[in-house]
Amino acid sequence: MSVGANYRAASRARSNAEFVSKIAVVVEETDETLYWLETLLEAGIAPLTRAEALLREGNELLRIFAASKRTAKKSNRDT
């Protein structure tokens, strides 16, 4: 659960700069997880019916984490 562990670390950041750094790792890990899930699908190892909900949720989380990163970076510049 690298995504979850890294998100937990980001939520415990001691500064905005540290949060931006850690949430960037969360974005990368989420994207990598989606890559491997897509690879399993393309290889025929996992059926789409079982992975469709995971792909949808993973993409939603990726958008949320990326938006959090953008907002935090903007806040960092504005202070």
pTM: 0.89
Q: Which one, of 21, 37, 35, lies nearest residue 69 by Cα? A: 21
**64-78 per-position pLDDT tens digit:** 999 999 999 998 776
Query: CATH number of the domain that 19 lies in?
Result: 1.20.1440.60
Q: Average pLDDT in the 37-56 region? A: 91
What domain range includes position 11?
A: 2-78
d(CA 18, CA 44): 40
- Count of structural domains within the chain: 1
Share of the chain above pLDDT 70, in %: 95
